[in-house]
Structure 1
Amino acid sequence: MPSAVSHQGAATDSQQLGSWVPAMASADADLLPELGMLTARSRDLVRNNGVASSGIQTMVDNVVGVGLRLSSKPDWRALGRTAEWGEEWQRNVERLWKEFANGTDCDVARELNFAGLTELMFRNMLMDGDAISLPLWKRRPGARFATCLQVVESDRLSNPDGRMDDANLRGGIEYSGDGEPLFYNIRKTHPGDYMLGVASLAGVWERIPARTAWGRKRVIHLHEKERTGQSRGKPLFAAVISQFKMLDKYAGAELDAAVINAMMAAFIETEMGGAELMELFGGSEGVNKEVSRRNKGRPKLKSGSIVPLYPGEKVSPFMPARPAAQFEAFVVAVLRQIAAALGLPYELLLKDFSRTTYSSARAALLEAWRMFRSKREKLATYWAQPVFELWLEEAINIGLIEAPGFYENRAAYCCARWIGPGRGWVDPVKEAQAAQIRMEIGVSTLEAECSEQGLDWEEVLEQRAREQKRIQELGLTPASAASISVLAATQQKEEEAANDGQGTSRAA
């Protein structure tokens, strides 16, 4: 009798779905009790699985690259200023920001610059689900700015003394009745740090307010929310941890089978006992005089040896069915599922474009680029922008930047864009021509096109002006648009000729 439910997916009396009755819990109830194990397994995968490590590195390279570059965009209209003032203010801010971001004084440990901190935060978010940084204020010799950042391992964010989660304390974060984070409870050291003199601090927590009394951030907590009320993030690999582990075991078993195949070619069926076989394989002699005499003329088993057989013995060929003929196809199918769960094209996850055409490669990279841009915007919004605002507040307060009414017009002064690594080109000539056409018909700008390649349009124009001036000084002739067009046409003809040749050979 058919189920009476309106949605077949909710049927509880069907043979396929009857035993599938998952619990319906809140976001934190689903995640927090299992977050520790998910994080530990995710880190283990990244350490020991080449594909998982490649996935993380691909994300980092394309979202962060060599760092996020600031392009300050003050809203001069809202501030009642002119465009010329905005450009001059922008140049001054970007110059001072470079001084702060390119040095290591922005790191409380003075080990990483801002690009290094950005990469570390993003990598932590992918592997652990959370990335935490504490903005600090430290006056130090040789440092122009007191603002600096301390990246904290997410494991240190936890409930004090192992308290159970409740309505206001979840995953180490204390909330107001409206769901606003008020305090973060962070251990003095990592709970798994057993080094001498450090373990004693593992049971000490510091209760850090989310903001100061005047609104300055004290904690930057970077994580992706999937559900309302979710306090902590989950690792990128959470949905595919089991597939990764099972694939590891399967690949290991196939590798063992391949090694055994290379070492063993046949079996010898014989009536000899254990002692005789031990001596035949090079074991101790003299176990049995008769056996020793019998085996004396027979060569010991080794690579390439021919062993004579006695009456009653026969050779049985060793012909295992491993590695399986469908091993590669099965592995590729599983990896495609993993790639889909990570939001990466299979070719990009495996770094394998050997079976990809230009069209499919471009489609795959465009799909990946949408995901990279989305993650970069979130990284810029919830990490780079807050750090920039903290630094800008200090720079204004110490008189390096003029910003009257900053606290009343903070949003107007802090407007900015963040430029990440370039998208790259599959076919540079075709895509450069496409960029030129977009600008000529008015659907794009030089700023947008340069941003797509990780460049600042003003720096590009200034550099071009310097180069053209130097070319004129030396009496050289710059490459003209006509010569570039001839070059592009020549390349197109060569490609068409090559394609025609391939078509002829296929037809033959």
Structure 2
Amino acid sequence: MTNQMILGPDGLPLVSDTAHRAASLSAREMSSWRPMAGSPDSDLLDELPTLVSRSRDLARNHGVASGAIQTLVDNVVGTGLRLSALPDYKALGKDKDWADSWSRKTEALWRSWADTTECDASKSLTFNGLTTQMFRSGLINGEALALPLWLPNRSQAFATTIQLIEPDRLGNPNDRINDANIRAGIEVDSYGAPLAYWIAKTHPGDQLLGVSNNAQEYERIPARTRFGRQRVVHVHDKERTGQSRGKPIFSSIMPLFKMLDHYERSEMQAAVVNAMIAAFIETPLDGESISEMFGGSGEDYMAARNEWQVKLQGGAVIPIFPGDKVAPFTPSRPNSAYSSFVENILRHIGTGLNLPFELLMKDFSKTNYSSARAALMEAWRYFIGRRHWLATYWAKPVYELWLEEAINKGMIEAPGFYQNKALWCRCKWIGPGRGWIDPVKEAKASKIRLEIGLSTLEDECATQGLDWEEVLEQRAREQTKMRELGLNTETAQYAPQTTEEKQ
């Protein structure tokens, strides 16, 4: 039961009409704030096309938005995600030596497929290129869609190929209204699990190229085959339980981006206009007097002035008509508060994108080492989370599809694969390195972590995007070569070995 509202002399309530002030419907600052309490899909699906089109426009035409997307792609995906196969050898009844041998062979075969364009149905991208496209689509469109295809007639080692699909093609056939069984092109069961996806055979926007979409055809693609092989990879964030589609990363800050764009354009236009005007010439003559003087119109007066071709330059003497005055023009642009105001808005935008201001603007000129490190560490937590999300819902499902084919073809031994699929498909993905802010300090910190047992060489190498086994193998080859040449392997200077050291 709510309390009775009592008004004070100023008309404001002395006692809140609700237990929570945030739920008050009578407070002046809250009374007009009554958002709808819809379901996840009712809040999103009808507005999704508008959000996506505006997000794409920002990514195309706003430099900061485009740079933010590229920054996220570079730090999360970078040059690509490297597979590290890690079968659960203990649960499979194997030993570590067997697991290392199996992993090396599997990773080599994976690279023979993933590092070529054979993995792409359009034969234009490698797996790293596909990964970049999926993540970029996930940022701009809010979701990414891919179809694992089986194309055995291409005369290549593996029939498994991936076709990327623009999320716009995912929709209800025949303009069917969303209901409990189908949501924006996704058929679901009573628990919300996807059963099938309805994908248009042509993009809805192809009508701009003259392709008619009056009779748009849709194809129903089951989420999985009858024997469980995944047929659709739909990557998107679920902010709420029951959410069927994703939304762009710019959604919460889109108004700020647009208003900032308007403000910056207005300031620039004002500055350009101010730069073009140096002074005004005042005349006591009115329009009729000017006409009588020249026997014509006011345009004749201006034409006479134009014939003088006066140039404004240093030390110039400007001739004017009798009675005219030169009034100085003192523009108020650029606005003295422009820089600080824009910076504050950009910091707000960076918070919405989970990017520190320094990384958003690529500007570390006002930041010391400690602040820069703290900002980048906070950003790195977000990058690692996004990388894990991308690996879990995109890279790992594709690896499972490829591994299944490799095992069925006898290229890889995996007895009981279908009974213990999760054990065989266990893996992790190594992304681009974090880089160094102060290489000396961070190298010393890495050494200390290893010496006191807080870290491993595998973890330290993975932080820099390296594979620890490849690092050790390369170091072993280098040291062998150094010994062959009589160089000291214990010093960084590569000094020649003494007679005692050689013995």
Instruction: State TM-score, norm by structure 2.
Output: 0.90
After TM superposition, the structure 1 = structure 2 runs for residues 297-308 of structure 1, keeping only pairs within 5 Å, are: 299-304=308-313, 306-308=317-319
1:418 aligns with 2:437: no
Tell whether the 8 Å contact from 2:356 to 2:379 is kept in structure 1 after alignment.
Answer: yes
Aligned to 2:392: 381
* AA matched with 1:98: R
Match of 1:269 among 257, 264, 282: 282
1:37 aligns with 2:66: no
SS at match of 1:84: helix
SS at match of 2:242: coil
1:99 aligns with 2:112: yes
SS at match of 1:39: helix
SS at match of 1:184: strand
After TM superposition, the structure 1 = structure 2 runs for residues 186-335 of structure 1, keeping only pairs within 5 Å, are: 186-194=199-207, 198-200=211-213, 203-271=216-284, 295=304, 299-304=308-313, 306-335=317-346
Aligned to 1:453: 464
Match of 1:24 among 37, 40, 48: 37
Deviation, 1:83, is: 1.3
Q: Kindly tell me: are residues 205 and 274 of structure 1, through their superposed partners in 2, closer, same or farther at Cα, counting changes over 3 Å?
A: farther
Tell whether the 8 Å contact from 2:287 to 2:298 is kept in structure 1 after alignment.
Answer: no
* AA matched with 1:83: K
Q: Kindly tell me: are residues 241 and 69 of structure 1, through their superposed partners in 2, closer, same or farther at Cα, counting changes over 3 Å?
A: same
Aligned to 2:379: 368
Runs of 4+ displaced beyond 4 Å: 195-198, 271-278, 285-294, 481-484
Tell whether the 8 Å contact from 1:343 to 1:371 is kept in structure 2 after alignment.
Answer: yes
C-alpha distance after superposition, 1:339-384 (max 9, x if no partner):
0011110100000000000000000000000000000000000000
Deviation, 1:270, is: 2.0
1:346 aligns with 2:357: yes
SS at match of 1:449: helix
Alignment partners' CA distance in 1, 2:261 and 2:198: 37
Aligned to 2:23: 10
Deviation, 1:291, is: 5.8
Alignment partners' CA distance in 2, 1:255 and 1:12: 42
1:129 aligns with 2:138: no
Alignment partners' CA distance in 2, 1:403 and 1:84: 16
C-alpha distance after superposition, 1:430-471 (max 9, x if no partner):
101100100110010000000000000000000000111111
Tell whether the 8 Å contact from 1:298 to 1:308 is kept in structure 2 after alignment.
Answer: no
Tell whether the 8 Å contact from 2:206 to 2:212 is kept in structure 1 after alignment.
Answer: yes
SS at match of 1:179: coil
Alignment partners' CA distance in 1, 2:270 and 2:438: 43
Tell whether the 8 Å contact from 1:157 to 1:186 is kept in structure 2 after alignment.
Answer: yes
Residues 218-227 or 77-86, more deviating: 77-86
Deviation, 1:142, is: 3.9
Deviation, 1:478, is: 3.8
Q: Kindly tell me: are residues 200 and 432 of structure 1, through their superposed partners in 2, closer, same or farther at Cα, counting changes over 3 Å?
A: same
Deviation, 1:84, is: 1.2
Match of 2:65 among 52, 58, 75: 52
* Structure 1 unaligned regions, length at least 5: 279-284, 485-508
C-alpha distance after superposition, 1:59-81 (max 9, x if no partner):
00000000000000011111111
C-alpha distance after superposition, 1:142-171 (max 9, x if no partner):
411000001100111011121111111111
Alignment partners' CA distance in 1, 2:140 and 2:246: 10
Deviation, 1:479, is: 6.0
SS at match of 1:33: coil
Aligned to 2:8: none
Aligned pairs, how many? 478
Residues 94-103 or 3-12, more deviating: 3-12
1:427 aligns with 2:438: yes
Residues 162-171 or 418-427, more deviating: 162-171
Tell whether the 8 Å contact from 1:159 to 1:172 is kept in structure 2 after alignment.
Answer: yes
Alignment partners' CA distance in 1, 2:48 and 2:308: 60
Alignment partners' CA distance in 2, 1:381 and 1:93: 19
Q: Kindly tell me: are residues 290 and 402 of structure 1, through their superposed partners in 2, closer, same or farther at Cα, counting changes over 3 Å?
A: closer
Deviation, 1:299, is: 1.9
Aligned to 1:493: none
Q: Kindly tell me: are residues 272 and 479 of structure 1, through their superposed partners in 2, closer, same or farther at Cα, counting changes over 3 Å?
A: farther
* AA matched with 1:243: L
Q: Kindly tell me: are residues 248 and 291 of structure 1, through their superposed partners in 2, closer, same or farther at Cα, counting changes over 3 Å?
A: closer
Deviation, 1:313, is: 1.1
Aligned to 1:488: none
1:89 aligns with 2:111: no
Deviation, 1:9, is: 0.6
1:62 aligns with 2:75: yes
Instruction: State TM-score, norm by structure 1.
Output: 0.90
Aligned to 1:394: 405
Aligned to 1:117: 130
1:463 aligns with 2:474: yes
Residues 16-25 or 109-118, more deviating: 16-25
Deviation, 1:314, is: 0.9
Match of 2:367 among 356, 371, 377: 356
* AA matched with 1:417: K
Deviation, 1:324, is: 1.1
* AA matched with 1:170: R
SS at match of 1:193: helix
* AA matched with 1:9: A
Alignment partners' CA distance in 1, 2:302 and 2:327: 25
Alignment partners' CA distance in 1, 2:358 and 2:431: 22
Percent identical across equivalent pairs?
Answer: 55
SS at match of 2:327: strand
Deviation, 1:308, is: 1.2
Alignment partners' CA distance in 2, 1:448 and 1:106: 29
Aligned to 1:494: none
